Homo-oligomer: A and B are copies of this chain.
Amino acid sequence: MTSVEEPARSGERIRDAARTRAEILDVATQEFARAGYDGARVDEIAARTRTTKRMIYYYFGGKEQLFTSVLERAYGVIREAEQQLDVDHLDPVAAIRRLAELTLDHHEQHPDFIRLVSIENIHEAQHIAASEKLGKIGSPALDVIRRILASGRESGLFTADVDAVDLHAMISSFCFFRVANRHTFGALFGRDLLDEAQRAHYRAMLGDMVIAYLTAERTPR
């Protein structure tokens, strides 16, 4: 998360637009993730900032646009992480497994992002629709998946002609569910999907699942 860093020259800078803006975004991210869009309080965000509510309206225009900006930055972070993906040197099977594991880890490390996405879905992605930036970011991960799938198909390792977007959905769904539904799943089934002791287990399970799917002999049903 791109968060506010104290400048080396000890604090106390009075006027710093970029800094104020970033600090508002940091706190707003937490508050929206904590309580949902309607549950979040603009006053609460302001209170936890070194500035005032006035500044939120000055910089972002309103609660709605603030949430959109929070989303834009959050998606920016994950897009950056995906751009760091470097699995081209691996064979297709190892590459897919690695991609799945990195996705699992990344989701686990960014629960606020997962919550924001859940919240945005409750609101039917209206903020993404209203955002110019978010419409056309695309997903670096998709390009990676496309390359791996192509090479896996060429080498004959992957049996099925799987679509990259579908595979992305398959991997994401498990990683997302694990974080997003942690609480209800835990309450109903008595199992914490984010239990540290189980992380290796679930990483292996996801990798096994995806690889099994990609390499299975398709028997017509």
Which residues of B have CB within 8 Å of A209? Answer: 170, 209-210, 212-213
Stretch at the interface among A6-14, A46-54, A147-155, A172-180: A172-180
Chain A contact patch, size range: 35 or more
Within 8 A of B (CB), among A178-211: 178, 180-189, 191, 193, 202, 204-205, 208-211
Given the complex of chains A and B, what is the CA–CA distance between A168 and B205 in angstroms?
13
* B205 touching A216, Cβ below 8 Å: no
Q: This chain: how many copies in the complex?
A: 2
Contact present for B188 and A137 (CB under 8 Å): yes
Are B118 and A188 touching (Cβ within 8 A)? Answer: no
A202 → B minimal CB distance (Å): 8
A-B contact pairs, 7 of them (CB 8 A): A168-B189, A173-B178, A176-B177, A209-B210, A209-B213, A212-B213, A212-B216
